[in-house]
Structures are given as structure tokens and as C-alpha cells.
Amino acid sequence: MNFHSAEFLIGAVHQRDLPGDGLPEVAFAGRSNVGKSSLINRLVQRKKLARTSSTPGKTQQLNYYRIDDRFYLVDLPGYGFVQGGIDLRGRLGKLTESYLQDRPQLRAVVQLIDARHGPTELDRMMISWLGECQKQFLLVFTKADKLSRSQLSRQFAKLESSGDFAGISFAPFSAPTGRGRGDVLEWVLEAIDGPQS
């Protein structure tokens, strides 16, 4: 599926900056430099819609991308590292937490994990928190092209055998090859069109 329009709307740094048009939203969360911007770009087939950087902590606001005037994809600041020091990190942490807990337009969260390393302690905390808040979420294992099929299979088998991720939907993804785009996009669209959580 292709979209007719995809545009950056606003980089929100306060609650008052968030759009008030009521369109549904899907947020993208994950550690710094895990590939949130690359995933958004690949989903909408725009190479430079969301700015990517090899420097962790570049996203320092809630970046809103309006898709076909129908819904928003929201790129959240990466957790674990933010440029600008502890005050900025604290402020962004509160904004993100408030957004995830209280935003009525938020339909679902795409939680990104680096496939090469598997979930970190921060990832596990986020997954647990999303579950406790009863948020609909999908785990997307990025940078899947960096692993062979057998390595990726072993990684998923290890996760499944641990029991920590029982019943949680997940998908591998590669921004360079586009692997997994269809699965992630289908999930996002179902979340947008489905009942509000």
C-alpha cells in the first residue's frame, strides 16, 4: 500500500503543542538509535520524511507525521539517552510518559528492539509498563538484515522459550530491504481502524 501524502506537522515539546484535530495516532517507541525514524520512512515510502541520524538522542520532541489526513505516526524520543543533559532528559521523559498514559487519540504503540542484541532491561521495563497500562502494542525487531535467517530464528526462539513474551505480537524488520514492512503496516492500519483502547 502507498500513501498519497505524508508530512511533518510539528515537533511537540509541551502538551499544549499536541494536535487537537482528534485524528488517531500510533506512536513509535524504543531505545535511542534503534531505527524509529527509518521505520517510519520505510512505512510511508518517503526517504527523508523523518530525519535519521547515527547520533543517539537526536529526537528530542514528539514528532508528528500526518498521513493522508487520516492519522498520525508519532516518533517518540528514544529512551536511555538524550542529548542536552539530564534536565532535558527529565522533561522529555515526563512528556512522553504523560502522552503514553493520557493521550486519548493514541491507538497503539510500535515498540522497537534491535534484533542483534534482543531486548535490554529498559526495553523490558517499557514492555511491562505498556502491558500494565493495557496499551495495544507490537514489538518490531529492527536491523534484521544484520542477522542471518538462522540467527534471527534463534533469537526469536530464545525469546519465546523464556516465556516473557508469551502472547505478544512481534515482527522482524529491515529498513534497507523493506523486509517486514507489509506486516508492520497491516498491524498499524488495523490499530488505526480498530476500537479505541
Which residues of the chain fall short of a pLDDT of 50?
57, 82, 85-89, 91-92
Q: Which three cell numbers stand for residue 10?
A: 510539528
Give dist(CA 46, CA 43) in Å, integer: 8
- All domains of the chain, ordered by start, with CATH? 6-193 (3.40.50.300)
Give dist(CA 137, CA 42) in Å, integer: 19
Closest CA to 43 of 180, 136, 141: 180
Verdict on whether the full-model pTM lies above 0.75: yes
pLDDT of residue 197: 57
Give dist(CA 138, CA 33) in Å, integer: 18
Q: Which three cell numbers stand for residue 64?
A: 508528528
